[in-house]
């Protein structure tokens, strides 16, 4: 382990893990010296720390926290991150609104304290400029690396106490626009300028023009394929697993799912089915549950209350095993899916995985090939550790709307559980026709003369989990996208109507929130 201490953009000292002084070039920027140390010590963990936090950094925790080499994390207890809240105008992902009380996935790094393995940093050698602004460089490395398989986190355990000793620098408008131009498509710089004009009455035109002189840093030349992941953590203990499946009117498809589960090389302990049929006096149609012999316990709950959120909650209440496979009633899996799936948890040292889930005609070239931190969550294609699911349930406010998957994923992240995407083993999603016994739900706002836009559940998700800037940025994009899809072509009439629909969406989202 090599530790760089710095202050006012200047390196003050470099030490090894046993506090032996290491020579460094005082004239080099921090980023340049960090890369030089990576070249000099390619098998080491490279730590950086602001001089004022010398007594706060928890160096003894780093070997446990960095449990494989394809990781990067930092921590800044200050409320604001380097790029500030305005980055929310251009990115709607869960990685912006960081919960600093837990280990949280984000590319937003800080020069205050952090660590990256030398082998991971060397992947950027000669491909990303060694910026003189160290915070800018760290954010750039993480932003470029995260979609390519670099696992990036805000990690409060880096500090002994999460007290604010020294306020850390914030980016200027020039740095913000430059960052957006170098890490997003060019149109986002225009949207950033527009959002700041509309919502802040600011016109940083010079910063916008300045950004246009920089090239995008996202490149296919960067790869971490030479770094093998093998976590030092052992997260699988007894490897028992339950499967939960909500179903409604898909008797034949569910049978095929059960057959796939019965042929697994690693069998589940329980398969928990929640069968829904809203018709009065209806009974279960799944006769094969009793007529055939299955190599696992089947728990079938029948309910007249339709709704996937309620069904999954009923199933979660019955889980007994260490792991939960959250499945759909119209998927197909290979015989070794569960066995391979559980093996991956010890490889990556994580507690929640969403697996590649595609239709049969999905183009192979469009499939994600890299294991990476996931911005979403798949309620029908994920395996999650049961202990991490304690006290977490699907929010009934999202029933029959959109957003329940995203909301559940955010509940996990806010608890400190990262969700990663794994391309294989793959799940085939048949996208079966909607089963029988279904009636169109009558939502609270369906009779309103002014319909909410976006839907109330979409707005609810955004209010619960996004920053104010992210919501405003989404509003701007929705305004332009929706214009092409509706009948009002007069811009003034459209603007007034859009504002009414947005206001209606806010109203019903608050109503749903108050009923929680």
pLDDT value, residue 262: 98
Q: What average pLDDT does the structure give for the chain?
A: 94
Q: What's the helix, strand, coil split of the chain in %, to 5?
A: 35, 15, 45
For 362-375, the pLDDT digits (tens) are: 888 888 889 999 99
pLDDT value, residue 91: 98
Domains 2-211 and 241-429 share a fold: yes
For 331-345, the pLDDT digits (tens) are: 999 999 999 999 999
- Within 10 Å of residue 402's Cβ, how many Cβ atoms? 15
Per-residue b or e along 241-253, where b marks 16 or more CB atoms closer than 10 Å to that residue's CB: bbbbbbbbbbbeb
Mean pLDDT of 87-95: 98
pLDDT value, residue 439: 65
Q: Where are the domains of the chain?
A: 2-211, 241-429, 456-515
pLDDT value, residue 516: 65
Instruction: Inform me whether the pLDDT recorded for 219 exceeds 90.
Output: no
User: Residue 155: CA atoms inside 13 Å, Cβ hemisphere, count?
Assistant: 24
pLDDT confidence tier of residue 35, bands split at 50, 70 and 90: very high
Among 50-64, 116-130, 398-412, 442-456, where is mean pLDDT lowest? 442-456
Instruction: Inform me whether the pLDDT recorded for 493 exceeds 80.
Output: yes
Sequence-distant (6+) residues with CB within 8 A of 449 are: none
Q: Any bridge partners for residue 244, and if so which?
A: 272, 326
Q: Report the share of the chain in percent with pLDDT over 70.
A: 99
pLDDT value, residue 510: 95
Rounded to whole angstroms, the Cα distance separating 355 from 425 reads 7
pLDDT confidence tier of residue 109, bands split at 50, 70 and 90: very high
pLDDT value, residue 230: 95
pLDDT value, residue 515: 76
Q: What CATH architecture is 2-211?
A: Alpha-Beta Complex (3.90)
pLDDT value, residue 281: 85
Structure tokens at 103: 């280990």
Rounded to whole angstroms, the Cα distance separating 475 from 479 reads 6
pLDDT value, residue 380: 96
For 463-478, the pLDDT digits (tens) are: 999 999 999 999 999 9
Q: What is the CATH number of domain 241-429?
A: 3.90.550.10
Distance of CA 337 to the CA centre of its chain: 23
Structure tokens at 377: 């969550």
Rounded to whole angstroms, the Cα distance separating 224 from 149 reads 7
Supply the pTM of this predicted model.
Answer: 0.94
pLDDT confidence tier of residue 169, bands split at 50, 70 and 90: confident
Rounded to whole angstroms, the Cα distance separating 28 from 44 reads 20
Among 65-74, 242-251, 358-367, where is mean pLDDT lowest? 358-367
pLDDT confidence tier of residue 280, bands split at 50, 70 and 90: confident
Instruction: Inform me whether the pLDDT recorded for 272 exceeds 70.
Output: yes
Among 24-33, 66-75, 202-211, 362-371, where is mean pLDDT lowest? 362-371
Task: Give 295: exposed, middle or buried? Use CB within 10 Å, 0-12, 13-18, 19+.
Answer: exposed
pLDDT confidence tier of residue 108, bands split at 50, 70 and 90: very high
pLDDT value, residue 437: 60
Mean pLDDT of 445-454: 91
């Amino acid at each position: 382990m090599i530790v760089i201490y710095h202050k006012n953009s200047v390196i003050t000292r470099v030490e090894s893990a046993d506090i032996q002084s290491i020579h460094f070039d005082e004239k080099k920027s921090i980023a340049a010296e960090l890369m030089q140390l990576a070249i000099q010590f390619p098998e080491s963990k490279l730590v950086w720390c602001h001089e004022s936090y010398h007594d706060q950094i928890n160096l003894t925790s780093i070997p446990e926290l960095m449990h494989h080499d394809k990781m990067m994390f930092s921590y800044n207890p200050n409320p604001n991150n380097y790029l500030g809240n305005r980055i929310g105008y251009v990115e709607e992902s869960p990685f912006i609104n960081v919960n600093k009380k837990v280990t949280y996935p984000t590319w937003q790094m800080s020069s205050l304290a952090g660590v990256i393995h030398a082998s991971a940093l060397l992947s950027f050698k000669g491909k990303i400029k060694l910026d003189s602004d160290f915070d800018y460089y760290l954010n750039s490395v993480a932003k470029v690396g995260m979609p390519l398989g670099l696992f990036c986190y805000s990690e409060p355990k880096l500090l002994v106490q999460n007290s604010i000793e020294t306020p850390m620098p914030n980016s200027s408008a020039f740095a913000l626009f430059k960052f957006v131009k170098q890490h997003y498509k060019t149109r986002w710089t225009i949207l950033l300028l527009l959002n700041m004009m509309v919502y802040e009455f600011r016109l940083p035109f010079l910063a916008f023009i300045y950004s246009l002189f920089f090239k995008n840093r996202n490149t296919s030349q960067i790869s971490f394929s030479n770094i093998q992941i093998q976590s030092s953590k052992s997260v699988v203990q007894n490897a028992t697993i339950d499967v939960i499946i909500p179903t409604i009117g898909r008797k034949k498809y569910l049978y095929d799912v059960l057959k796939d589960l019965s042929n697994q090389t690693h069998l589940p302990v329980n398969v928990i089915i929640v069968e829904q049929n809203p018709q009065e006096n209806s009974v279960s149609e799944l006769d094969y549950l009793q007529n055939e012999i299955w190599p696992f316990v089947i728990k079938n709950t029948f309910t007249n209350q339709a709704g996937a959120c309620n069904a999954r909650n009923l199933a979660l209440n019955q889980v007994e095993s260490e792991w939960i496979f959250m499945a759909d009633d119209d998927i197909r899996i290979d015989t070794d899916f569960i066995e391979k799936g559980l093996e991956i948890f010890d490889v990556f040292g994580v507690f929640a995985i969403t697996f590649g889930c595609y239709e049969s005609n999905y183009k192979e070239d469009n499939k994600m090939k890299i294991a990476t931190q996931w911005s979403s969550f798949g309620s029908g294609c994920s395996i999650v550790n049961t202990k991490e699911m304690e006290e977490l349930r699907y929010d009934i406010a999202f029933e029959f709307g959109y957003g329940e998957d995203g909301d559940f994923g955010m509940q996990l992240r806010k608890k400190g559980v990262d969700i990663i995407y794994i391309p294989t083993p793959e799940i085939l999603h048949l996208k079966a026709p909607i089963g029988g016994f279904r009636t169109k739900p009558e939502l609270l706002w369906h009779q309103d003369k002014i319909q909410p836009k976006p839907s109330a559940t979409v707005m609810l998700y955004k209010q619960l989990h996004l920053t104010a800037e992210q919501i405003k940025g989404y509003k701007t994009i929705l305004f332009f996208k929706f214009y092409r899809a509706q009948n009002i072509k007069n811009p003034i009439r459209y603007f007034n109507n859009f504002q009414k629909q947005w206001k209606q969406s806010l109203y019903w989202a608050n109503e749903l929130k108050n009923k929680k």
